[in-house]
Amino acid sequence: MESDTGRFETYSDGVFAIAATLLVLSFMVTTGPDAPPLGHQLLHLWPSYLAYATSFLTIGIIWMNHHFCVETMARADRTLLFLNVLLLIIVGFLPFPTRLVATYLQKSGEQTAVYAYDATFVLMAVIYNVWWRYASAGRRLIDERVPDSTVRAITRAFNPGVPMYGLTFLVAVWSPLASVALTFAIAAFYLPSAALFDR
Amino acid sequence: MESDTGRFETYSDGVFAIAATLLVLSFMVTTGPDAPPLGHQLLHLWPSYLAYATSFLTIGIIWMNHHFCVETMARADRTLLFLNVLLLIIVGFLPFPTRLVATYLQKSGEQTAVYAYDATFVLMAVIYNVWWRYASAGRRLIDERVPDSTVRAITRAFNPGVPMYGLTFLVAVWSPLASVALTFAIAAFYLPSAALFDR
Amino acid sequence: MESDTGRFETYSDGVFAIAATLLVLSFMVTTGPDAPPLGHQLLHLWPSYLAYATSFLTIGIIWMNHHFCVETMARADRTLLFLNVLLLIIVGFLPFPTRLVATYLQKSGEQTAVYAYDATFVLMAVIYNVWWRYASAGRRLIDERVPDSTVRAITRAFNPGVPMYGLTFLVAVWSPLASVALTFAIAAFYLPSAALFDR
Amino acid sequence: MESDTGRFETYSDGVFAIAATLLVLSFMVTTGPDAPPLGHQLLHLWPSYLAYATSFLTIGIIWMNHHFCVETMARADRTLLFLNVLLLIIVGFLPFPTRLVATYLQKSGEQTAVYAYDATFVLMAVIYNVWWRYASAGRRLIDERVPDSTVRAITRAFNPGVPMYGLTFLVAVWSPLASVALTFAIAAFYLPSAALFDR
């Protein structure tokens, strides 16, 4: 009932890369006689740039960490595969709330759009945590050659995920823009300094 | 005339991952002065969420089983490659009926949309069965190191596919929503408990 | 200046799989108060089904043959890489003329749409032929372990490509529908019986 | 804190291939009673063909060079991974300015569209240069078996990138069309003659 881990890595890598690249479809300009000048439109697209960069960076981080976690596993079982597909469902969904933020930020409906965006990240962080905790609890699926210190370091790196994204959700009550900026900051600072790689 | 199986696995994996990730394009909101509030729209998108999750889970299952089946094969021949491309044509088509269900469920035309959705799954199950039965009949393409019990277990796991999806089609006559819910249930329960992995 | 061939295979495989899966975006239905019933629309989408299946099958064939050809090569050089990118540019373009055929077949403008579709296939066949002839002429890039008979068999399989697709172009003068049907027939019959695999 | 380089190559390859294939979504025709004849529309799409070919060729070159550079590296570190994700963010963004050029060239707003297009290339060249210079400075991440001459040859090949794309930006002040044509010329001539491969 167990299988090697390379098995779901290729598929996961594909979904990560495609979801990230589909984010570009969030960028929209309007043409026609009544459309504002293109330069004006491109400047007013800044919520799209922010949402695009935030989602792309975040998928990049998840992809790097995913790869790193899978490398510590000796095998996968059915539950892990199930959790992995749940994670991919959320990652594959991300282009939709990203487009919502790109469309609604600084306009009527922005709060709802950012709630949807932040809720997606919270859900992603929860499932990702469950995924890792299932694999690592009692070293259930961990390769015996991987030292305990590595497993603990990864778990420590996962710990702040849910609270951090929960905080962005709370910040959206006060300011949707600040919430997206915080989500971006989490990604931008997390990427190079991921405790995950600090062994 | 025979070729190694890794040959069509990469291509199949690519189509599975891309088809799953393109499903996100089913999500649509409308903007403009007459559009309902975004929160209202997001709640009324639940047929989209259901259709997205159902199709994504199903592609995930097919992908896992596909990989597992191919691993039992020692080689591929022209007929198998042809059947494999037919299977990929249907998998690659799935985003369209998924978008139909997302658009029409609970609206006029929902029965037709769900018929199209269910018919796609029936066709997929039929071709997938033919694909496996061609490879496994008389162990035509099966590696000699794979025990008969494994081949029989996979065949048993394939058996309920066509009747189950045929049933969802019949249920759509009575209730389109119940039919999609059943398709989701098949995927959700099949994924973790796939008899396929129960050796 | 030479490089191993695995180098451009991954990239080519990716473009093939993505181009094939993007074909699904050709399917369009209209909603709104004046839209015809969905069942009616789905039946009238048959040009889309035909164009989708034809393009998907053709990309599948090119992918299989491409893989097979590359396996005979010991190395790639700059010219081959350039020709390969040209081939990928045409393959990546195919979803557009496919959408044209899906939209215009049986309507005003169908002849132009099918000319564009057929011209894309002719161009693809020409570049693909040049690609292979460059690699195989005087066994320029062929691995020394590959027998001459294999190289000749592949060349024979390439020979009918340009005339066949040229013929579909000519048929479009008389009947656009017959031309697309012929393009489909070429793909459907070529796939299982590719002389390429007949060694 | 170091990791093997295959790790981010798969992901990068995926983003390159998907971004290139998504370029086809730049092609748009209009239907309806007032639409010009399709043949007329297809001829007037030439800015789309030019933009598509230019962006596709450029991504192809970046992909080939990226692969080649990574092969010289013994390992990756966090900074390189961060720079790599920045590069991918720009590559994944390219389909948007490509669509802008396809839509606006030879129309009102063309200068702005080409500025956006050229600015994307300049940014891409800058980040790509920083990426390589970080890896190669003092042979920071270079494999010890790679001779100094190879590293110097790659650096020489990178040198003209930023000035060349800066020039296309300047040319756009005078003529947007000439600027895109120059960008195309850079790609077309750079691809087969890349000094990178001239060792």
Of D17, D42, D53, the CB nearest to C11: D17
**Are A44 and D45 in contact, with CB atoms under 8 Å apart?**
no
pLDDT, average across residues D156-185: 94
Spatial distance between the Cα atoms of B172 and B111, rounded to a whole number of angstroms: 7
Closest CA to A93 of A127, A138, A42: A127
Q: What is the dihedral of CA D17, D19, D24, D30, to 10 degrees?
A: 160
Q: pLDDT (tens digit, 9 = 90+) per residue, C54-112?
A: 999 999 888 888 888 988 999 888 788 889 999 999 999 999 999 999 999 999 899 99
Q: Locate tokens 């064939």: which residue? A: C61
Exposure string (b/e) for D115-154, b if CB count within 10 Å is 16 or more? Answer: bbbbbbbbbbbbbbeebbeebbeeeebbeeebeeebbebb
What is the predicted pLDDT for the residue at D193? 56
pLDDT at C197: 46
* Spatial contact of C111 and C176, defined as CB atoms under 8 Å apart: yes
What pLDDT sits at residue D100? 95
Q: Give the pair of three-digit tokens for residue A133.
A: 């905790």
Q: Rounded to whole angstroms, how far apart are CA atoms B135 and B128?
A: 11
Cβ-defined contact of A96 to B21 (cutoff 8 Å): no
Give dist(CA A191, CA C154) in Å, integer.
48
Test A13 with D10 for CB contact under 8 angstroms.
Answer: yes
Non-local (6+) Cβ contacts of A104 within 8 A are: A47, A110, A112, A113, A114, B38
A17 interaction partners in chain D (CB closer than 8 Å): 11, 14-15, 18
Nearest CA in chain D to A10: D10
A186, burial (CB in 10 Å: exposed 0-12, middle 13-18, buried 19+): buried
Q: What is the ipTM of this complex?
A: 0.89
Q: What is the pLDDT along chain A (199 residues), one digit of tens a residue?
A: 345 676 677 788 889 999 999 999 999 898 888 889 999 999 999 999 999 999 999 998 888 888 889 889 998 887 888 899 999 999 999 999 999 999 999 998 999 999 999 999 999 999 999 999 999 999 999 999 999 999 998 998 888 889 999 999 999 999 999 999 999 999 887 765 554 444 4
Q: What is the pLDDT of residues C14-69, one digit of tens each?
A: 899 999 999 999 998 988 888 899 999 999 999 999 999 999 999 988 888 888 89
Alpha helix (H) residue ranges in B72-160: 78-93, 95-104, 110-136, 148-158
Tell me which of B15, B34, B98 to substitute to probe the interface with C (most C C-beta atoms closer than 10 Å).
Answer: B15
Phi/psi at D2 (5° precision): -95, 160
Per residue in D99-139, pLDDT (tens digit) is 999 999 999 899 999 999 999 999 999 999 999 999 999 99
C-alpha to C-alpha distance for B87 and C5, rounded to whole angstroms:
28
Name every residue in B having a CB less than 8 A away from some CB of C.
Answer: 1, 3, 7-8, 10-11, 14-15, 18-19, 22, 25, 78-79, 81-82, 85, 88-89, 92-96, 100, 103-104, 109, 112-113, 116
Helix (H, G, I), strand (E, B) or coil at A76: strand
Q: Look up residue D51 and give its amino acid.
A: A
Cα dihedral A54, A58, A59, A64, rounded to 10, equals 140
What mean pLDDT is reported for chain D?
Answer: 89
Rounded to a whole number, what is the distance in Å from the CA of C103 to chain D's nearest CA?
9
**Shortest Cα distance, chain C CAs vs residue B96, angstroms:** 7
Contact across the interface for B92 and C42, Cβ inside 8 Å: no
What confidence tier does C7 reach under pLDDT thresholds 50, 70, 90?
A: low
Helices A6-22 + A46-71 axis angle, to 10: 170
Is the model's pLDDT at C161 over the cut of 80? yes
The per-residue pLDDT for B195 is 42
- Judging contacts by C-beta atoms under 8 Å, the chain D residues touching residue C22 are 21-22, 24-25
Per CB-CB distance under 8 Å, the chain C contacts of B109 are 37-39
Among A82, A95, A109, beta carbon nearest to B38: A109
Cβ atoms of D23 and D52 within 8 Å: the answer is yes
Q: Do B57 and A3 touch (CB under 8 A)?
A: no
> What pTM was computed for the model?
0.91
Task: State how far the alpha carbon of D13 is from the alpha carbons of A148, C169, D7, D59, in Å.
Answer: 33, 35, 11, 10
Q: Which pLDDT score, from 0 to 100, does residue B61 have?
A: 86
Q: Hey, is A142 helix, strand or coil?
A: strand
The whole-number pLDDT of residue C191 equals 66
Report whether D143 contacts D73 (CB < 8 A).
Answer: yes
Nearest Cβ partner for A24 among D85, D93, D103: D93
**B chain contacts of residue A101, beta-carbon cutoff 8 Å:** none
Tokens found for residue B169: 């089609």
Strand, helix or coil for residue D3:
strand
In chain B, residues with a C-beta closer than 8 Å to the C-beta of C60 are 11, 85, 88
Q: In angstroms, what separates the C-alpha of C199 from chain B's closest C-alpha?
A: 6
Q: pLDDT band for position D79 (50/70/90)? A: confident
Half-sphere exposure of residue C170, counting CA atoms within 13 Å on the CB side? 6
Rounded-to-integer distance, Cα A5 and Cα A12, Å: 11
Q: How far B89 CA lies from chain C's nearest CA (Å)? A: 7
| Interface contact B17-A3, CB threshold 8 A | no
In chain B, which stretches have pLDDT less than 70?
Answer: 1-4, 6-7, 191-199
| pLDDT grade for D196, boundaries at 50, 70 and 90 | very low
Residues of A in contact with B68 (CB under 8 A): 3
For residues A106 and A177, the answer to whether their CB atoms sit within 8 Å is yes
Task: Please give the residue of chain C at the shortest CA–CA distance from B92.
Answer: C21
Cβ–Cβ under 8 Å, residues C153 and C197: no
Chain B interface disruption, residue of A3, A4, A11, most B CBs within 10 A: A11
Residue D163: how many other CB atoms lie within 10 Å = 10
> D17: which residues sit within 8 A by CB, 6+ positions away?
C11, C14, C15, C18, D63
